[in-house]
Amino acid sequence: MSKCFAFGAIIFLLPFLIFCICCVLVASEQISGQNSLSVKSGRSPLQTLQENDQLEQSAVHATLQGRRGLLEETCHSHTHKRRVLGPEDLRHLIVDDKHKLLYCYVPKVACTNWKRVMMVLTGEGRYREPLAIPANEAHVAGNLRSLSEYTTAEINKRLRTYLKFVFVREPFERLVSAYRNKFTRSYNTAFHKRYGTKIIRRHRADPQAEALKKGNDVSFEEFVYYLVDPQTQKEEPFNEHWERVHSLCHPCLIHYDVVGKYETLAQDSRYILKLAGAEGEVKFPATSKSTRTTGDLAAKFFDNISPFYQKKLFNLYRMDFLLFNYSVPAYLKLR
Ligand SMILES: *[C@@H]1O[C@H](CO)[C@@H](O)[C@H](O)[C@H]1NC(C)=O
């Protein structure tokens, strides 16, 4: 009776045992085939961050925690209507399914380098060194996947379980940087034609035919007139280079786990790559500081702008100042 039972049990369990052995083999092969730290430890970067919230008391971690708290509070006290995200809102979120990362890119905030790093992370060995990737290639649509390309269920799963991060910058330094890059460099003819000609037509008192045709000598003052003109945003959304982070990345609807800052770029980038277990795979490129737009430079550009327009412009970018804890620049004459 007991023998018969034991034999029956083995027969009954045999397929199950074989199945289990196969599973272990497959699993071990997958693990040994990958070499990223997060896979080895079995934790996603989001889980690592959450563990750090409990344990780690490093200065970087505390700073990032403070930023996240302040963002949440500011969103809470400034947004009244809630709205639902649509796929269009997710165009700026870049997906790394291997390391479980979602990066919202903001132009003029080291986004070329972060896109290069994302290409190394998602490239399955095609790229090793971020700076070896030409800048224009980093911006080719299709080299990286955007969250808006996924189905609703896939989007929601990623929003829930991936580490979501964004990099921000002092709003007027970013704006002056965009102006300098797009309107004062002779090679940016596409921007001159597309935006410069329109700005000169509308906001220059007595334009020359040549300027109207080329659009290549827009002053910062004229650019400001264009930005604060209500007609501008009625016609089309701002170009992403001067659109507010609030509108590009929806920080009150998407709860970013890490808010990196341009001002602490190297440190914040290192922290994110560490959470992702990718320190061994890629280093965030060190950037040269020589041509950077700084607060002092921004102040010079605002010298020509009347207090009336300074105030209008500040109101336009106000949410980016508040959400990311940037103080009102001392050079502004708002009162
Ligand atoms: C906000 O900025 C101020 C001044 O730069 C700083 O002292 C403070 O710690 C920041 N707060 C948070 C929560 O990051």
99 and 118 inside one domain:
yes
Cα 73 to middle of ligand 1, angstroms = 13
63 pLDDT higher than 70: yes
**How many angstroms separate the alpha carbon of residue 121 from the centre of ligand 1?**
32
* CB distance 154 to 90 below 8 Å: no
Q: Check pLDDT > 80 for residue 253.
A: yes
158 and 230 both lie in a single domain: no
Tell me, what DSSP letter sits at residue 145? E
Are residues 306 and 188 part of one domain?
A: yes
Q: Are residues 103 and 126 in the same domain?
A: yes
Cα distance between residue 270 and residue 120, in whole Å: 15
Q: Supply the DSSP symbol for 126.
A: S
- Look-up of token digits 């004229």: 222
**Domain co-membership, 256 together with 118:** yes
Q: What is the pLDDT of residue 16?
A: 45
Distance 35 CA to ligand 1 centre (A): 38
Residue 3 in domain: no
**Helix runs in 276-306, H state only:** 295-302
Q: Whose CA is nearest to atom 8 of ligand 1?
A: 325
> Would 127 be classed as within a structural domain?
yes
pLDDT tens string 162-192: 999 999 999 999 999 999 999 999 889 999 9
State whether 270 and 139 are in the same domain: yes
Q: Is the pLDDT of residue 2 over 80?
A: no
Supply the angle between the helices 171-183 and 307-323 in degrees, to the nearest 10. Answer: 120
What lies within 8 Å, CB to CB, of 242 at 6+ separation is 175, 178, 179, 227
Range of the domain at 191: 173-241+296-323
**pLDDT over 50 at 69, yes or no:** yes
Q: 177 and 152: one domain?
A: no
Average pLDDT over all residues of the chain:
86
Same domain, residue pair 101 and 177: no
pLDDT of 222 higher than 50: yes
Q: What is the pLDDT of residue 273?
A: 96
Report the nearest-CA residue for atom 10 of ligand 1.
Answer: 325
**325 CA: nearest ligand 1 atom:** 1
Residue 100: count other Cβ atoms within 10 Å of its Cβ. Answer: 20
Name the range with the highest mean pLDDT among 1-5, 25-29, 272-276.
Answer: 272-276
Cα 325 to averaged position of ligand 1 atoms, centre (Å): 6
| C-alpha separations of 196 from 19, 110, 217 in Å | 67, 24, 8
In contact, 163 and 257? CB cutoff 8 Å:
yes
Is the pLDDT assigned to residue 27 strictly greater than 50? Answer: no
Region 264-278: mean pLDDT is 95
Residues with CB under 6 A from ligand 1: 66-67, 70, 325
What's the pLDDT at 197? Answer: 95
291 pLDDT more than 80 = no
pLDDT confidence tier of residue 319, bands split at 50, 70 and 90: very high
CB 313 within 8 A of CB 227: yes
Lowest mean pLDDT among 6-10, 30-34, 320-324: 30-34
Q: How many domains does the chain have?
A: 2
> Do 87 and 155 contact (CB within 8 A), yes or no?
yes
Pocket test for ligand 1, best of 325, 326, 328 (most atoms within 8 A of CB): 325
Ligand 1 atom at shortest distance from the alpha carbon of 66: 13
The reply to whether 213 and 182 lie within a common domain is: yes
What's the CA-to-centroid distance between 146 and ligand 1, angstroms?
Answer: 32
Question: Is 151 within a domain?
Answer: yes
Which stretch of 48-52, 61-65, 171-175, 192-196 has the lowest confidence by average pLDDT?
48-52
Ligand 1 centroid to Cα of residue 65, in Å, is 11
Q: How confident is the model at residue 125 (pLDDT cuts 50, 70, 90)?
A: confident
Instruction: Tell me what pLDDT residue 33 has.
Output: 29
pTM as predicted: 0.84
What value does the mean pLDDT take over residues 241-262? 96
How many whole angstroms separate alpha carbon 151 and alpha carbon 164? 18
Do 313 and 305 meet the contact criterion of CB atoms below 8 Å apart?
Answer: yes
In a domain, 235, yes or no: yes
Residue 6 lies in a domain: no
